[in-house]
Amino acid sequence: MKFGIYYAYWEHEWGGNFLPYIEKCKRLGFDVLEVACGAFHLENEEYFRELKKCAEHNGMLLSGGYGPRPEHNLASTDSAAVEKAFAFYADVFKKMEIAGIDRIGGALYSYWPVDFASGFDKKADTERSIKSMRRLADMAADHGITLCMESLNRFEGYMINEAYEDVEYVKAVDKPNVKAMLDTFHMNIEEDSMVDAIKLTEGYLGSFHVGEANRRCPNPNGRMDWEAIGKALRDINYDGYVVMEPFVQMGGQVGKDISIWRDMSHGATEEMLDADAAASVAYLRKTFCK
Ligand SMILES: [Mn+2]
C-alpha cells in the first residue's frame, strides 16, 4: 500500500497550485499527493509537465480526485450536456497522462454535491450513467488511466451509497479500468460493517480514502478501528493507494462544499496542520502494513 493525502487539507478553494505540496508531502512522510482535476482545463500542458518533473524529482506519486460539477454529470438526461462532459474529461485525461497521474476517483458516475431538491430517478439515472461510463472508460484507457467510483453517504449522493452498490455498478460497466472506491468517512454513515464492506470489494477496489468520522486525520484516539480496517485491506490483498482526505478548516468553497461550520482546527497554524498530517501517516503506515 502507498499512503497519500488530498492537497485540499491546506486549501480554501478547489484548484490552486499543487507544486508546493509535492515537496511538502514528501517531507511529511507521504508517498502520494492527490490533486483536484476539476480545474485542469484552466492550466496549459506545460504546467502538467512541470508537475510530473517535480513529482519524479521528489520520488512522489500523484493521483487525481474530482467531484463532478453538475454540468459534468454523465447520468444527465441532457445528452448535449453529457457530450460536453466527455469533452471536458478528454482534456483532463490528456493532462493527467502528461503529469503521470494514472488514476482518478470520486463520484464520476454522477455529480457532487447532489441537489436533492431537483429530484431524480435513481434507476434511469444509473442506467444512463453505466452506458456513459463504458465510453469514458475507453477514453481513459487510451491514456492508461483507471476510474474509481467513490461510494458516498446519502447526504452527498444517491447512486452509490454502499460497497455492494459500488461493486454492482462496476460489474455492470464491465471495464477493466473501472474500479470501486471506498472512503471511511462515508462508510461510517452507511455501512453495517467496515470490514465486511471492504471484503465485498475484493478484486474491485481501486482506491481507498481514509478519515475519521468527522474528517479529521486518522489517529489512534478517534472512533475508527484502524487496526480492523488495515487488516481487512490486507486480507483482500489491496495494494493500491490509501489517501487521507482531512478537512478541518472553515471558509471558501472547500469549507462550504464540505460543510465545515466551525473551526475544527482550533486556529491551527500551517505548521500544526503539517504536524498532524505527519503523525497520521506514520500511524497509518504502522497500523496498515504488518
Ligand atoms: Mn473521499
**Predicted local confidence at residue 83, as pLDDT:** 97
CA of 79 to the centre of ligand 1 (A): 28
Q: 92 is written with which cell numbers?
A: 483532463
Burial code (b: 16+ CB inside 10 Å, e: under 16) for 55-81 equals beeeebbbbbbbbbeeebbbbbeeeee
121-147: average pLDDT: 98
**Predicted local confidence at residue 15, as pLDDT:** 83
Q: 128 is written with which cell numbers?
A: 444512463
**Predicted local confidence at residue 286, as pLDDT:** 97
CA of 150 to the centre of ligand 1 (A): 7
Question: How far are the Cα atoms of 15, 36, 59, 115, 263 from residue 251, in angstroms, in the given order?
Answer: 15, 18, 32, 21, 9
Q: Is the pLDDT of residue 290 over 90?
A: no
User: Cβ(219)–Cβ(210) under 8 Å?
Assistant: no
122-126: average pLDDT: 98
How high does pLDDT run on average in the chain? 97
**Predicted local confidence at residue 26, as pLDDT:** 98
CA of 216 to the centre of ligand 1 (A): 12
CA of 106 to the centre of ligand 1 (A): 7
Active site residues: 150, 245
Tens of pLDDT, residue by residue over 245-277, are 999 999 999 999 999 999 999 999 999 999 999
Q: Which residues have CB less than 5 Å away from ligand 1 (the ion)?
A: 183, 209, 245
Q: 154 is written with which cell numbers?
A: 446519502
CA of 109 to the centre of ligand 1 (A): 14
Q: How confident is the model at residue 16 (pLDDT cuts 50, 70, 90)?
A: confident
Q: Is the pLDDT of residue 30 over 90?
A: yes
**Predicted local confidence at residue 186, as pLDDT:** 98
Tens of pLDDT, residue by residue over 194-250, are 999 999 999 999 999 999 999 999 999 999 999 999 999 999 999 999 999 999 999
CA of 55 to the centre of ligand 1 (A): 22
**Domain residue ranges in the chain:** 2-288
Pick the CATH number of 2-288 from 3.40.630.10, 3.10.20.310, 3.20.20.150, 1.10.40.50: 3.20.20.150
Rounded distance between C-alpha atoms, residue 12 and residue 8, angstroms: 7
CA of 3 to the centre of ligand 1 (A): 14
Tens of pLDDT, residue by residue over 180-189, are 999 999 999 9
Q: Residue 107 CB: number of other CB atoms within 10 A?
A: 23
